Structure 1
Amino acid sequence: MDKTAIKKFAVEARRSLIESIRLKAATLGITADGIQAKLPISTGDVEYYVDEQGGISGHDIVKRQKLVAELKQRARKNDLATAFNDLIEEVAYTWFNRIIAIRFMEVNDYLPSRVRVLSSTENRNIPDILVNVRDVEEALGGFTASEKAIITRAEDTELPKDRDAEYQMLFIKQANALNKNLPYLFETTNDYAELLFTPSYHDGVIQHLITDISEDDFNVAVGGQVEIIGWLYQYYNTEPKNTVISMPKSHKFRDTEIASATQIFTPDWIVKYMVQNSLGKYWIKHLLAVGSLQNESEIAREFNWQYYMPDAKQPDNVQSKIETMDSSLKELEIKQLKMIDPSMGSGHILIYAFDVLMQIYESEGYSRREASESIIKHNLNGLDIDTRAFQLSYFAVMMKARQYNRRALTKITHMNVYDIPGTDDFKLEDFEILLSQLSENSSRLLRHFLQEFTFGNELGSLILEYSSSLTSLREELDALNHNQLSFELIPLLDKVADILNSVELLGQKYQVVITNPPYMGSSRMESHLLKFAKKNYPNSKADLFAMFIERWNKALVSGGYNAMVTMQSWMFLSSFEKMRVNLLGNYTISNLMHMENNVMGIAFGTAVTIVRDYQLPSFIGTYHQIKTADVSGKIPQHLPIADNRFNRTNQANFAKIPG
């Protein structure tokens, strides 16, 4: 995988998409400076906004109206210029996501039509979809009379402008058709996102994707993997991240900036270390409890878990406590094992957890088809504040399912991964009509959630759990007759559905939590986030990552594992002393891996901490130190475990260290 080429492509693709979308918006009379009214030369059929050359008609007029309405709605939160720039960035990334997704699917022959959309299997200068247009008609939902006319004209004239018109139509139809298989990534684009994007196969982003990045990087049959999606996501955000982190230290990050500033792609070997020593270890504890396994290393070798670290031999009194507490694991079934990544980014942890769960399911006698559907339905959960990251996580998990199950794109219609919404772009009064149609209890409950999620897309997975049943509220919302609802209520219902999905995941208990949480100090927090931190996380308020450790330790079932890769500072700074005391007094450190600067490809030291929700003060844990020289910029094939480069120590010894 040529990461230099991937980075260059992703950075330039973002620039290109933003510039082209910004120019297209300008032709519609929409800029950061204002929204133009239609010109007097407009007619009932055609509207003009800049001059007599750029008129639009038909559905495009409706799409522009939706675009204007969306901008005005967003401007209520900040101002028009900010709303405009955020929307342009969002539309650019939406199409980047979809282009990358189509590329991954066509290379692996996952497209329902089996016909490539971006490239040619015969090394032609035009994509296969233009050569085999009649073969894709059914898969694309059929062609209207006007669409057939576009195809016929392109075939007759073979002029570049007519070919371009045909390709644009086919590309948009393919994106819309994939809504049936991947609805959360390919949302129906008959809206302003479609109006602002003009796909081209012979220049621009699509052409560079085909020529600049090796096809093998996407091809799972020859060593490619879903991981490339994560690297593209990381590199696409290079410039936004650099812009945000270079701002004056007095600058407070707002919601979209938090995502840009804190996204760090987790290297593959660190993901494997965390997953194997938490999710893998929890299942091994079950096997030990039922007596089907005599030692931990046995199944780790069988599954090739090269980063798995068996627990140390414990003192007799500690071992007897462990066996007593783990006796409840005898009743565990694989479908009951819930894991979550509460800051999932592009889904790297989720897709490796999928692989580990697949190994476990197969060892329990499940077929790959059964297992893939059950993993998504029962085991995997994920949350993030960034809609773009959520879309990629959703896609990555679906592609992992498709790798194991040819029917995944038609059989799997839902998964438990969500982007956490905020309601600060609405006013509470906007929901009053909806609230008035609910019972008193449901109305009160929904009002509470609307307030709790005011800054949901900033507080994210730090929002406190709510454990009461949502059944009645959901039933009342489902009973509303959508055909009789006003146009304004539909987006409110969508927002409420997103909130309730997040509430359910935030309120559950998990056997395993694994994540690379955001790193952001309190000096960068907006006033409402800082106030929330001081009130709810007094021991860890100095940084988001520490708050994540505290929040998600509390989400564990008894005996569950929380694995996080974070900054190292929580281990020694005085601002985290109370947090350390609390952690050592209530949890057990199973593994702690301290990494020097640049081990993760970032300029500061980090630590993987895996704690268990048991209070075993004398537990002997496993402690690694990974030096920069150990990795030398490459993903190691194994940790220095084989060279005995680790320590074992009694957790109680930390109490001897002042502070």
Structure 2
Amino acid sequence: MDKKLIKTFAIEARVKLRESVMSKLAKLGITDEQISEITEIGNDTIEIKDNHERFTGNDVKNRAKLVEELNKREQQTGNRQIAYDTLVEEVAYTWFNRLIAIRFMEVNDYLPERERVLSSESGIKQPDIITHLLDTEMYAEFDLATKERVTELLSDSSADAVDELYQLVFIKQCNSLNQQLPDLFEKINDYTELLFTVSYIDDNGVIASLLNIPEDAFNVDEGGQVEIIGWMYQYYNTEPKDKVFARGSRKIRADEIPAATQLFTPDWIVRYMVENSLGRYYIDQKLANPNETRTEKEIADEFGWQYYLPTAEQPEDVQLQIQDERKAKSDFALQELKLIDPSMGSGHILVYAFDVFMQLYEAEGQSPRTASELILENNLFGLDIDQRAFQLAYFALMMKGRQYSRRILSKQLRPNVYVVPNNSDIGEAELQLVQMQFNDQKKPNKTY
């Protein structure tokens, strides 16, 4: 994994996405200083007075929703520039998350259409989804008016037509993925779609830059790792994080906390933590069996746990205490063992814990397909204050599950990861949910 290349891409992608969002906002007559007046022309057309840009149909309704959202944010923050900037940031990272997710899925052939959305297997610039659009289920699901518009755009080779068609198809793909991955490809506000302007024909655009990263970095069959998602998010936050700390002692705003505190844990630290917590718990359970002849190190070596540290030699009384503790751990089923990361970020620790749980289930004779579903349903839990990080942790775990179970995306299975809302929004119902999830009095869960 070329982290330097990934870092360059992520930092530049944020800048490009924000610039494209602000450019579209300017065409709509919206800046961080003012909202331009409009002139209504007919029943469904408006003209922006300051730049004479015209918008029709749904774009008119979406602009009105956009203005309403911006005004609401200004009332909440008391500052128009902050309201404008947080909206731009939100839209930019929404599309960043989705671009990265779709790239991972297309390289691993996980997309429902089985057609690449950002690239072509033949190496041409036009994505396969556009080349084969008329033969896809996506096209069949378009209404008559959309099909007619698609036909018009396919016959028009202008850059504007190519971009309009691609944006239509990309948004449709994202909305269709809501059925398989609802917490990443969630139903979005109409104004977010209005501000999507990514182009595959732009040689300096985000898609072109993303495709410069070798496919092997994404392809799990060729040594790629889902952890690339976390590294991209870490690097995406580089500039916002630097800006926060450059301001010295000024109080950090709530919307700045995620960027200021986000830190992707290096792989060796993650392995050390998981192997010496979850791994140690499992080994202790094995060693409590009087028929077990292997040592700690031998069991760890069989699993390939390079960072596992065997228990140091202890006095006899301490050894007896350790034996008693191991006996207490000896009676449990893997499905009862739970690992929680209370500050999960984009899920690096949970992803490696998934791998370790998979090893344990397979050692107990469970099939990888069944084990992957059991792990997501029973063993892994995570929390974070950052909606963006939560989405990526959710996605990373679902992709780990998809690696072992081809049908997992159609089973409406949901990992036990959650975004922690603003404390003013936490009510009795949420507190009861936490108690039910982690404190089952009838059958105590063993949590690490």
**Cα contact 2:27–2:51 (8 A) shared by 1:** no
State the one-letter code of the partner of 1:224. Answer: G
SS at match of 1:280: helix
- Asked which structure has the greater CA Rg, the reply is 1
Residue in structure 2 matched with residue 169 of structure 1 by the alignment: 168
Give the distance between the partners of 1:402 and 1:558, measured in 2 at CA. 26
Offset of residue 51 of structure 1: 4.6
Residue in structure 1 matched with residue 238 of structure 2 by the alignment: 238
Residue in structure 1 matched with residue 279 of structure 2 by the alignment: 280
1:261 paired with 2:260, answer yes
Residue in structure 2 matched with residue 420 of structure 1 by the alignment: 420
Residue in structure 2 matched with residue 346 of structure 1 by the alignment: 346
**Cα contact 1:381–1:505 (8 A) shared by 2:** no
Give the distance between the partners of 2:331 and 2:23, measured in 1 at CA. 61
SS at match of 1:40: strand
**Cα contact 2:13–2:206 (8 A) shared by 1:** yes
Residue in structure 2 matched with residue 188 of structure 1 by the alignment: 187
Give the distance between the partners of 2:92 and 2:2, measured in 1 at CA. 24
Residue in structure 2 matched with residue 206 of structure 1 by the alignment: 207
- The alignment covers a number of residue pairs equal to 441
Give the distance between the partners of 2:228 and 2:63, measured in 1 at CA. 35
Residue in structure 2 matched with residue 9 of structure 1 by the alignment: 9
Give the distance between the partners of 2:151 and 2:327, measured in 1 at CA. 71
Give the distance between the partners of 2:129 and 2:394, measured in 1 at CA. 26
C-alpha distance after superposition, 1:289-347 (max 9, x if no partner): 24453421222111111111111122221222232233232221101111111111111
Give the distance between the partners of 1:334 and 1:292, measured in 2 at CA. 20
Offset of residue 286 of structure 1: 1.6
Residue in structure 1 matched with residue 72 of structure 2 by the alignment: 73
C-alpha distance after superposition, 1:469-506 (max 9, x if no partner): x7xx5xxxxxxxxxxxxxxxxxxxxxxxxx559x6179
Residue in structure 2 matched with residue 103 of structure 1 by the alignment: 103
Give the distance between the partners of 2:20 and 2:445, measured in 1 at CA. 53
Give the distance between the partners of 2:434 and 2:63, measured in 1 at CA. 36
**Identity score, percent:** 52
Give the distance between the partners of 1:105 and 1:559, measured in 2 at CA. 34
Please list, as runs of the form range in 1=range in 2, the aligned pairs for 1:487-636 lying within 5 A after superposition: 499=430, 504=434, 508=438, 561=448
Offset of residue 21 of structure 1: 0.3
Residue in structure 2 matched with residue 301 of structure 1 by the alignment: 301
Offset of residue 139 of structure 1: 4.6
Q: Which runs of 5+ in 2 are unaligned?
A: none
Give the distance between the partners of 1:420 and 1:413, measured in 2 at CA. 20
Offset of residue 230 of structure 1: 1.2
C-alpha distance after superposition, 1:558-587 (max 9, x if no partner): 9965xxxxxxxxxxxxxxxxxxxxxxxxxx
C-alpha distance after superposition, 1:41-77 (max 9, x if no partner): 4443123334574233333333233323333333333
Name the CA shift for 1:264/1:59 in 2 (closer, same or farther; >3 Å): same
**Cα contact 1:241–1:261 (8 A) shared by 2:** yes
State the one-letter code of the partner of 1:239. Answer: E
Q: Which runs of 5+ in 1 are unaligned?
A: 427-448, 451-469, 474-498, 511-556, 562-659
**Cα contact 2:438–2:445 (8 A) shared by 1:** no
Give the distance between the partners of 1:135 and 1:291, measured in 2 at CA. 63
TM-score (norm 2): 0.92
Give the distance between the partners of 2:413 and 2:35, measured in 1 at CA. 39
**Cα contact 1:282–1:560 (8 A) shared by 2:** no
C-alpha distance after superposition, 1:150-208 (max 9, x if no partner): 32123333333322221111111011111111111111245111111112111110111
Residue in structure 1 matched with residue 386 of structure 2 by the alignment: 386
Residue in structure 2 matched with residue 92 of structure 1 by the alignment: 92
Please list, as runs of the form range in 1=range in 2, the aligned pairs for 1:112-123 lying within 5 A after superposition: 112-123=112-123
Name the CA shift for 1:192/1:229 in 2 (closer, same or farther; >3 Å): same
Give the distance between the partners of 1:227 and 1:505, measured in 2 at CA. 31
Give the distance between the partners of 2:165 and 2:99, measured in 1 at CA. 17
Give the distance between the partners of 2:108 and 2:40, measured in 1 at CA. 50
State the one-letter code of the partner of 1:18. Answer: R
TM-score (norm 1): 0.64
State the one-letter code of the partner of 2:208. Answer: Q
SS at match of 2:183: coil
Name the CA shift for 1:128/1:253 in 2 (closer, same or farther; >3 Å): same
Give the distance between the partners of 2:276 and 2:336, measured in 1 at CA. 19
Give the distance between the partners of 2:431 and 2:103, measured in 1 at CA. 33
Offset of residue 251 of structure 1: 1.0
SS at match of 1:331: coil
Name the CA shift for 1:146/1:297 in 2 (closer, same or farther; >3 Å): same
C-alpha distance after superposition, 1:568-610 (max 9, x if no partner): xxxxxxxxxxxxxxxxxxxxxxxxxxxxxxxxxxxxxxxxxxx
**Cα contact 2:340–2:447 (8 A) shared by 1:** no
**Cα contact 1:45–1:58 (8 A) shared by 2:** yes
1:25 paired with 2:25, answer yes
**Cα contact 1:171–1:199 (8 A) shared by 2:** no
Name the CA shift for 1:135/1:73 in 2 (closer, same or farther; >3 Å): same
**Cα contact 1:373–1:412 (8 A) shared by 2:** no
State the one-letter code of the partner of 2:287. Answer: L
Structure having greater relative contact order (Cα 8 Å, sep ≥ 6): 2
Name the CA shift for 1:558/1:225 in 2 (closer, same or farther; >3 Å): closer
